Chain A
Amino acid sequence: MCRLVAITSKDYISPMENILALETMKEGHDGSGMGIILKNLGGEFEEMKDYPILSGICSKDGLHRLDEYMERVGFQLRHTWTPRIKPVKGIQRRDHYFARVYEYPEEYKDRAFEEKEDLLLRTRIALRRMGEDDESIIVFSFYPDIITIKEVGDPLQLSEFFGLDDSNLKAKIIFAQGRQNTNYAINLYACHPFFIQGYGSMTNGENTAFVPIREFLMSRGFPGYIGYNSDSEVFTHILHYTCKILGYPLVYYKDIITPLKTSEIDGRPDSEVVRLLKVTLRPLCIDGPNCVIGFTPDGTCFMVQDSKKLRPGVVGGVKGKYGLMSEECGLDSAIPQRDRSLDIFPMKYDMVIVRPEAEEVVVWNQLRG
């Protein structure tokens, strides 16, 4: 089972908090990978929030080709962050790990953000395709104020490998996943959390409805709906489709992935809409068992369970710092000062929403709307 640790805070925090929380949850073999997404960056990135950051891994040759491509498109490198790699036994080092800050191409500088987002997406996909066969270029995200780190190995060892314990890498929202591989060959693109155009999520569970969902998303005509090395990537894309493409408020994500029974819909004040969505977006019902933790571009974080509630999930914390995790011991590690009696264990109708800057926690009930 994957371990999930998301922390949202009004102050900048280190990813080590997430990794130590992951460590407390460790049980048995659990070393098939770790993924971290940092959002609302601090430290050396605090002053560069408007510039897109390309996160990824390259071979020597791959980096050369990447540079050539970025130059051709017109992106200018402004800043590079690379981890100080410390060799750790069992972790196979690749040539270049990086988070590179770019300036937009000249002709894009004054364009609307939607157009810039479109360019970033197309660029990321092009780079991914360039290096997919020989793994010479692996890119996880290309977006302002977002850094993604992924590698195969035990999370604690990886933190040592990347030197995260003495790094100045900080952010207000950090999502981390310790991966229990259930998807056959280990592929870094299969590692959570997943990110697309401001939306990110990670999942605990297995998605039994993966194929119809993948087919539905891939047939939407949106170029970013590709990949799917993990069945959980669809959760991120459904979130993006719901909120960005369709423009629905976040809570309808719950209605789409875990639709109510027809008889239950009658109790909703917006029953007419919910009934339409249940029918229209039937292929996006996830049919679990899954616990999804995600964030939206404004910094809202949330947790939802599928209707069968077969995966653990807990939300707790204090005003200004909340954790959304798969196990309570992780919360104890990250936010020990909280009142444990106020911890929230979302059940099948609940969507736990933590407002930006960890201002407050709201439990939205699907039955009542």
Chain B
Amino acid sequence: MEPATRLDHNHQLTLKDFPYIIRWRDDRCKRCGRCTAVCPMFSIEPSVILRRTIHSEGPTPQPKAVRQVVTVIKQSTDINRYCTGCGTCTLVCPNEAIEPEYNPQHKFLFHKNRGGYPYRRGGRRNDPRLSTLDRLKFTRISMLTDPALDAGRHEFRIRTYLGRILPAEELPLRFVNGRLEVDKTSGKFIPPVREIYPVMIGSMSIGALSPTMWEGLAMGVTYLNEVEGMPVVMCSGEGGMPQRLLKSRFIKYFIPQIASGYFGWDEIVRTIPHMVEDPCAIEIKYGQGAKPGDGGLLMAHKVLRLIAEIRGVPMGVDLPSPPTHQTKYSIEESVAKMIQSMSMAWGFRVPVYPKISGTRTARAVLNNLVRNPYAAALSIDGEDGGTGAAYNVSMDKMGHPIASNIRECYLDLVKQGKQNEIPLIAAGGVGKTGNLAANAAALFMLGASAVAIGKYIMQAAAGCFGDEYNRCNICNIGRCPRGIATQDPKLYRRLDPDKVAERVVEVFKAVDVELKKIFAPMGRSTELPIGMSDGISADDPAIAERLQISYAC
């Protein structure tokens, strides 16, 4: 046996250790070089090999060995240049000569920690199994006893409310001449409430997203409101918004987010006197489902001029947000103060709500907010939520699934009789397998007043490659091959904001139809079926028991 010391390349990895292996076809490749030029990871490169072939010419066989220097496409075995499986090479190849293939036997996580740095990435939890949401079905179908509605002809009101809702007993009403009227002399504060579409676009920052992506989303949302009459709203994510948008009348369709780094808020606060409309709401980010307990991070190479301007920071520096708000001493005091401060900034005309990551302590947070009359909602972001950058261990192993989290919060509100007073917004993996309307409707029936989507809209509107097999998921390094999560003009110019906007509109119009197709057979059309838990069943008895719904098999 040969001694190990003489075995060449023993400390190198083999291609079988990698999650994606490039299948390259020599016979189809014309050596144009496009694939190697676009590979965001430099995983493939042109290489030369010496090839020995046997040739025979002439009428009788006269085999001859010929040695040729041939150009080939070679996949790197450097772990830092691993193939992400994004498939951009396939996209640009004119001859279908190359494609990455998933390798289920890979040992990627064993090795992706060189230099003592754990694996960091973007995307969401790498778990391709069906989520709980996809295991729920709508089983209460209106049949002969209560005829189903016609999704195409009946009038459906698919709307929800964002804002603190006073209980009827506390409304300042008085009886005058046979009618009720609002008693203006009572001095009672009636919190602002917005009527919105129950599927929101969740918080994704300008910075995490490219200018073209964010602009496309913003245009799509505006079009939906102004032309289609669908009050879809979108959260800014941390890091502010362009002045042009803040000062425009379209700001009413947006929810500026304030997070622990307060990036962009100097600019927003200075703009308040010049704003012609109030924003839809303000979201205070305390947590994110993809990386609970972690602060945000915008890597230095994404902090270019535009981002630096919006965020009010120098160019080219890392922008880490702390894991928690530095002023946060207790939920009773500091969170209440923060909600009040933000409310006060807009004269108590704008709903202000916190967003937390899914957690077993969500009910404790909720119960504190219930006692805070200015808390306008609670957004809970489940473990399947996406992010632009996080440690893999946070994304894969930290957090709480949204289904049971939202359900127990809702049932807690029911116990207190406050289920209509503080809306719950569910996020994290909504539409993870493409079933956006079904996941959203299931969450409404579990008790959510609205759902927020992020990853889904990136995938549907801009073709984000990322999936739960760790495909692509390099949002963190600024080399997004689709031009969605990058600040590199060479990359984001690939993305046409008009096309993104068109897709946003198409997606929401399609979701609207699908929601009707779900609600119509269940006989619901006038109000969103929030908490209609008799409408759904789980295909697993344990899930059914946990969610307090029926089991159907």
Say whether A and B bind each other: yes
Chain A interface residues (CB < 8 Å from chain B):
182, 205-206, 208-212, 215-216, 219-221, 245-249, 252, 258-259, 261-262, 269-270, 272-273, 276-277, 279-283, 285-289, 306-308, 310, 369
Check if B175 is an interface residue, CB within 8 A of chain A: yes
- Whether B524 pairs with A287 at a CB distance below 8 angstroms is yes
> Contacts A270-B179, A287-B526 given: A182-B416 contact, CB under 8 Å?
no
> Contacts A221-B417, A270-B181, A308-B149 given: A287-B523 contact, CB under 8 Å?
yes
Q: List 10 A-B contacts (CB under 8 A).
A: A208-B142, A211-B532, A215-B419, A216-B419, A221-B417, A273-B180, A276-B166, A277-B171, A281-B168, A308-B154
User: Which residue of the partner chain, among A219, A245, A259, contacts B527 with CB atoms under 8 Å?
Assistant: A259
Instruction: Report, as a range, how many residues of chain B touch the other chain.
Output: 35 or more
Q: Complex formed: what's the CA distance from A94 to B81 in Å?
A: 84
A241 and chain B: residue at smallest CB distance? B168
- Whether A216 pairs with B420 at a CB distance below 8 angstroms is yes
Q: Complex formed: what's the CA distance from A277 to B142 in Å?
A: 28
User: Which residue of the partner chain, among A210, A280, A310, contacts B147 with CB atoms under 8 Å?
Assistant: A310
- Whether A211 pairs with B531 at a CB distance below 8 angstroms is yes
In the complex, what residues of B have CB within 8 A of residue A306's CB? 526
- Whether B142 pairs with A206 at a CB distance below 8 angstroms is yes
Shortest Cβ distance from A250 into chain B, in angstroms? 10
In the complex, what residues of B have CB within 8 A of residue A287's CB? 523-527, 529
User: Which residue of the partner chain, among B146, B165, B181, contacts A205 with CB atoms under 8 Å?
Assistant: B146
Check if B114 is an interface residue, CB within 8 A of chain A: no
In the complex, what residues of A have CB within 8 A of residue B530's CB? 212, 282-283
Closest 6 CB pairs of A and B: A206-B146, A219-B417, A208-B523, A285-B527, A212-B531, A182-B145
- Whether A280 pairs with B531 at a CB distance below 8 angstroms is no
Most buried by A among B157, B178, B523: B523
Check if B415 is an interface residue, CB within 8 A of chain A: yes
A211 and chain B: residue at smallest CB distance? B534
Q: Complex formed: what's the CA distance from A307 to B154 in Å?
A: 10
- Whether A246 pairs with B419 at a CB distance below 8 angstroms is no
> Contacts A280-B165, A282-B420 given: A248-B527 contact, CB under 8 Å?
no
- Whether B523 pairs with A220 at a CB distance below 8 angstroms is no
In the complex, what residues of A have CB within 8 A of residue B149's CB? 308
- Whether B180 pairs with A219 at a CB distance below 8 angstroms is no
- Whether A279 pairs with B165 at a CB distance below 8 angstroms is yes
Chain B interface residues (CB < 8 Å from chain A):
140, 142, 145-147, 149, 154-155, 157, 159, 161, 165-169, 171, 173, 175, 178-182, 190, 193, 195, 414-420, 522-527, 529-535
Q: Complex formed: what's the CA distance from A157 to B420 in Å?
A: 46
In the complex, what residues of A have CB within 8 A of residue B181's CB? 270, 272-273
In the complex, what residues of A have CB within 8 A of residue B180's CB? 248-249, 252, 270, 273
Shortest Cβ distance from B55 into chain A, in angstroms? 78
In the complex, what residues of B have CB within 8 A of residue A209's CB? 524, 527, 529, 532
User: Which residue of the partner chain, among A211, A219, A261, A283, contacts B157 with CB atoms under 8 Å?
Assistant: A261
In the complex, what residues of A have CB within 8 A of residue B524's CB? 208-209, 287
- Whether A249 pairs with B171 at a CB distance below 8 angstroms is no
In the complex, what residues of A have CB within 8 A of residue B416's CB? 219
User: Which residue of the partner chain, among B159, B171, B175, B420, contacts A283 with CB atoms under 8 Å?
Assistant: B420
Shortest Cβ distance from A319 into chain B, in angstroms? 23
Q: Complex formed: what's the CA distance from A272 to B193 in Å?
A: 13
- Whether A288 pairs with B523 at a CB distance below 8 angstroms is yes
In the complex, what residues of B have CB within 8 A of residue A262's CB? 159, 195
- Whether B527 pairs with A282 at a CB distance below 8 angstroms is yes
In the complex, what residues of B have CB within 8 A of residue A289's CB? 146-147, 523
> Contacts A248-B180, A287-B526, A289-B523 given: A280-B414 contact, CB under 8 Å?
no
Shortest Cβ distance from B459 into chain A, in angstroms? 32
Most buried by A among B155, B161, B171, B193: B171
> Contacts A219-B416, A269-B179 given: A282-B161 contact, CB under 8 Å?
yes
In the complex, what residues of A have CB within 8 A of residue B182's CB? 272-273, 276
Q: Complex formed: what's the CA distance from A262 to B415 in Å?
A: 29
B147 and chain A: residue at smallest CB distance? A310
Shortest Cβ distance from A218 into chain B, in angstroms? 8
B449 and chain A: residue at smallest CB distance? A282
Shortest Cβ distance from B538 into chain A, in angstroms? 16
Shortest Cβ distance from B70 into chain A, in angstroms? 69
Q: Complex formed: what's the CA distance from A246 to B155 in Å?
A: 30
In the complex, what residues of A have CB within 8 A of residue B418's CB? 219
Q: Complex formed: what's the CA distance from A251 to B529 in Å?
A: 24
Q: Complex formed: what's the CA distance from A249 to B174 in Å?
A: 11
Q: Complex formed: what's the CA distance from A216 to B14 in Å?
A: 61
- Whether B419 pairs with A283 at a CB distance below 8 angstroms is yes
Q: Complex formed: what's the CA distance from A283 to B529 in Å?
A: 9
Most buried by A among B142, B155, B167, B532: B532
Shortest Cβ distance from A283 into chain B, in angstroms? 5
Q: Complex formed: what's the CA distance from A182 to B147 in Å?
A: 13
In the complex, what residues of A have CB within 8 A of residue B535's CB? 211
B154 and chain A: residue at smallest CB distance? A308
In the complex, what residues of A have CB within 8 A of residue B155's CB? 307
Q: Complex formed: what's the CA distance from A279 to B529 in Å?
A: 14
In the complex, what residues of B have CB within 8 A of residue A259's CB? 526-527
In the complex, what residues of A have CB within 8 A of residue B414's CB? 215, 219
Shortest Cβ distance from B121 into chain A, in angstroms? 40
Shortest Cβ distance from B458 into chain A, in angstroms? 31
Q: Complex formed: what's the CA distance from A211 to B522 in Å?
A: 13
Q: Complex formed: what's the CA distance from A216 to B193 in Å?
A: 20
In the complex, what residues of A have CB within 8 A of residue B527's CB? 209, 259, 282, 285, 287
- Whether B146 pairs with A220 at a CB distance below 8 angstroms is no
Q: Complex formed: what's the CA distance from A305 to B190 in Å?
A: 31
- Whether A276 pairs with B190 at a CB distance below 8 angstroms is yes
In the complex, what residues of B have CB within 8 A of residue A221's CB? 417
- Whether B522 pairs with A208 at a CB distance below 8 angstroms is yes
> Contacts A273-B179, A287-B525 given: A246-B146 contact, CB under 8 Å?
no
Q: Complex formed: what's the CA distance from A330 to B159 in Å?
A: 40
Most buried by A among B154, B175, B181, B417: B417
A245-B169, A247-B175, A252-B180 given; 19 more Cβ-contact pairs under 8 Å: A182-B145, A208-B140, A212-B530, A212-B532, A216-B417, A246-B168, A249-B178, A272-B181, A273-B180, A273-B181, A276-B171, A279-B161, A279-B165, A282-B161, A283-B531, A285-B526, A287-B524, A307-B155, A308-B154
Shortest Cβ distance from A309 into chain B, in angstroms? 11
A206 and chain B: residue at smallest CB distance? B146
Shortest Cβ distance from A187 into chain B, in angstroms? 17
User: Which residue of the partner chain, among B157, B159, B171, B522, contacts A280 with CB atoms under 8 Å?
Assistant: B171
A268 and chain B: residue at smallest CB distance? B179
In the complex, what residues of A have CB within 8 A of residue B534's CB? 210-211
